[in-house]
Amino acid sequence: MDFNVVKAIARRELSSYLGNPAGYVFLTLFIAATGAGAFLQEGFFARNLADLALLNKVMPAILMLFVPAVTMGVWAQERRLGTDELLLTMPVRDTEVVLGKYFGALGVFTVGLGFSVAHVLVLRWLGQPDLGLMLSTYLGYWLIGATFVAIGLLASMFAGNATVAFILGALGCAGMVFAGTEPWASGIVGCAVFAGLISLLWTAVQGNTEGAGLLGLIGAVVGVLVWLGGAWKGFEEAFGKLGVDQHFYGFGEGVVRLGDVVFFIGIAAVVLYLCVFMLGRRHW
């Protein structure tokens, strides 16, 4: 692996995004949405606490929509222009391309999150926020974003165009936002994971995507049978563990648990591996 190549691709991605007025519109919307989440909610002033507890509740949902909007064009754009062919025939490895794209999009998200630190300045003006708590909360936000960027990138590789990439990415992130909130939500996420894994496995064995949709449907039905048929008692609990909330909770309380950090980075790594797999698909 050559990190100079990863750096070159990431820098191009970042400058392409930040050199585009649409990029700033998204950033502005992000600041506005997080600002509203932090301060414009009922009870912020009544609580009389200088913290981001109210934002923490809605942040995963904001990121679920914001991050796929950043990543939707990453691969769809390359495919539309035809530049993916040129990039993949350069002396670069598929892993370097995926990581370059990932770090580029993560850079855009990090810039957005960086601007939102303004909320902490507002808190300092209003009261005396605990800076350690702010730091751990922001680390949590960043880790959620790092996981969602990977999911959005995978969606961008799956989809033929940016709109579909956004919808798929938002659905993927939504799965992680809603898992663990209610038993039925965890069950549905479990069925979706079943569907995804079976259609992916089919694609890998068969060598092309033909029939993958049908297999996905069969996977979902199998998931429903396993879940509601009672074959696996811990179904809801197991898939509920994929939920962002329970892993983010500690960060919002000022506690950084190694297990939570590993969870976010682990999910991102698995999804990025799937991205490399998707890129290799062209050889089939």
Partner 1 sequence: MSTNAASKEAPPGDAPVTIRVSGVSKIYGDFVAVNDISFSVRKGTVAAFLGPNGAGKSTTMKMLTGYLAPTKGSIEILGKNPGDHGARLELARRLGYLPENGPLYLDMTPAELLAFYAEVRQLGSVNKAIDRVVAQCAIQDVFHKPIGKLSKGYRQRVGMAQALLSDPDVLILDEPTSGLDPLQIREVRKLIRELGEQKTILLSTHILQEVEAVADSVIMIHEGRLVFEGSFEELDEDGDGDIERRFYALAGAPLDDEEDEDEDEHESEAN
- Give the DSSP per-residue string, the chain: --HHHHHHHHHHHHHHHHTSHHHHHHHHHHHHHHHHHHHSSTTHHHHT--S-HHHHHHHHHHHHHHHHHHHHHHHHHHHHHTHHHHHHTSS--HHHHHHHHHHHHHHHHHHHHHHTTHHHHHHHHHS---HHHHHHHHHHHHHHHHHHHHHHHHHHHH-SSHHHHHHHHHHHHHHHHHTTTSHHHHHHHHHHHHHHHHHHHHHHHHSS-TTHHHHHHHHHHHHHHHHHTTSSTTHHHHHHTT-HHHHHHHHHTT---HHHHHHHHHHHHHHHHHHHHHHHGGG-
Check residue 208 for interaction with partner 1 (CB under 8 A).
yes
Q: Is 1 in the site for partner 1 (CB under 8 A)?
A: no
How many chain residues bind partner 1 (CB under 8 A)? 26
Report the residue from 1, 89, 125, 205 that binds partner 1 according to the rule CB under 8 A.
89
Under rule CB under 8 A, residue 206 binds partner 1: no
For the bound state, the minimum distance from the C-beta of residue 7 to partner 1, rounded and expressed in Å, comes to: 8
Contact call for residue 205 and partner 1 (CB under 8 A):
no
Please identify, among the stretches 51-59, 77-85, 151-159, 244-252, the one whose residues bind partner 1 according to the rule CB under 8 A.
77-85
Which range in 78-86, 116-124, 161-169, 177-185 contacts partner 1 by CB under 8 A?
78-86
> Taking CB under 8 A as the rule, does residue 83 contact partner 1?
yes
26 binds partner 1 (CB under 8 A): no
Q: Which residues bind partner 1 (CB under 8 A)?
A: 2, 4-5, 8-9, 12, 16, 19-20, 81-83, 85-93, 208, 210, 282-284
